[in-house]
Structure 1
Amino acid sequence: MSGIVTLVPPQDRAVTLEEARQQLRLDAHDEDMLLAVHLDAAQAELERLADLRLCPQALAMVLDAWPDEITVPVRPVTIAAITYTATGGATVTLPEAAYVARARHGFVRIRPAAGTSWPTLAPDGQITITLSAGFAEGHPDLAIARAAILVKTASLFENREGAGCLAFDTLVNQLAARWV
């Protein structure tokens, strides 16, 4: 079994309230709470549909056993550390030279380094992979994501009873395709 847990959540949204206000040409702040809800919903939907984490954050992926190859189900990520419970019960950090992490088909895949195998895990042990996720400011894919969030937020704000947003769907599909 594996799961992703958030260790340090993002400190900001991908799109600020002020940027959304400019997109909608709003001068007043009386609907900021509603606008914030729409921003969060648009970002969450984009991240879910495209399997992306937009803003910098720290995550942990927890495994009960060593698979042949580990696929990290979120992107973009870098591996900060891999720790495991050794047979003696101690928590051990796997040296970077003991594994290879490569992006393939958009996702990071981790396998033992050439000529090595995964270390022995304690019977009730677990593996924790600490990840740094999110785009760096200025990344071109972040610009696409921000445009999609602004379009979706405007659609949600202006069509409060709910309506599809073709522009958002198109941008999400374009962003997702860039990571295949």
Structure 2
Amino acid sequence: MHRPVLITSPTETPVTLAEAKGHLRVDFDDDDSLISGYISAATVHLDGYAGLLGRCMVSQTWEQKYDRWRRVLRLPFPDVSSVEVGYTDEDDEEITVSTDLYTVLQDQRGHYIRFSDRFSSPNVGPDRAGIRISFNAGFGAAADVPWSLKAAILLFVGSLYVNRETSASDFKPTMAFEALIAPHRRVGV
């Protein structure tokens, strides 16, 4: 399995500028760009493949490639809302697998694709990762992101805003921040 690749980024952040300014008690516009940057930084810190959560917050499209067929192909994220399975055949043709040949399932580790017994694994060639699964992952729109994650982002933004000159290595998450994200983290998966 290869590292997943982000295809389409979310169209919004989990926290709006207005929400962050309200949290910070900022009633002027001079720092809007700075605060927006902090919202983005806090979101990147938590979200996606490299984020602390190991999951997506606002819906986004990813692609996962595989070197070979297996009856079950595990996806790297939970909260999957749609899936498309495809491959590049030996003639370099792009083929989409019919949705009646696989099922999207979920267990305690997350979502996975299980191919039906009728599915016959096509040859994709030994020199390429021709199997790909494109999928949407996330809680949905920003309004669907759990408030505990929004509160964690606001705490992070507040810390960055108040401690602008602190180096990144000096940042220590608070117990409140850790407690807010803990129920949503995918650790050891």
Amino acid at match of 2:105: R
Shift of residue 15 of structure 1?
0.5
Q: Which residue of 1 aligns with 2:147?
A: 143
Tell me if 1:127 matches 2:131. yes
Q: Distance in 2 between matches of 1:118 and 1:95?
A: 13
Tell me if 1:157 matches 2:166. no
Q: What RMSD over aligned residues (CA atoms) do the two structures have, in Å?
A: 2.2
Q: Which residue of 2 aligns with 1:174?
A: 183
The count of corresponding residues between Structure 1 and Structure 2 is 177
Shift of residue 78 of structure 1?
3.0
Please give the per-residue CA displacement for 1:61-104, whole angstroms capped at 9, x wherever unaligned.
Answer: 12222244221112322343111122343221111121122111
Structure 1 residue ranges (4+ consecutive) displaced by more than 4 angstroms after TM superposition? none
Q: Distance in 1 between matches of 2:89 and 2:157?
A: 48
Select 1:100's aligned residue among 87, 99, 103.
103
Q: 2:101–2:118: 8 Å Cα contact kept in structure 1? A: no
Tell me if 1:76 matches 2:79. yes
Amino acid at match of 1:60: E
Shift of residue 165 of structure 1?
2.0
Identity %: 28
Q: What SS class does the counterpart of residue 80 from structure 1 fall into?
A: strand
Q: Distance in 1 between matches of 2:172 and 2:52?
A: 17
Q: What SS class does the counterpart of residue 176 from structure 2 fall into?
A: helix
Q: Distance in 1 between matches of 2:181 and 2:45?
A: 9
Give TM-score scaled by structure 1 length: 0.85
Shift of residue 132 of structure 1?
1.1
Tell me if 1:15 matches 2:15. yes
Please give the per-residue CA displacement for 1:12-49, whole angstroms capped at 9, x wherever unaligned.
Answer: 11111111000111011222222122211211222211
In structure 2, the gaps of 5 or more residues are none
Q: Which residue of 1 aligns with 2:115?
A: 112
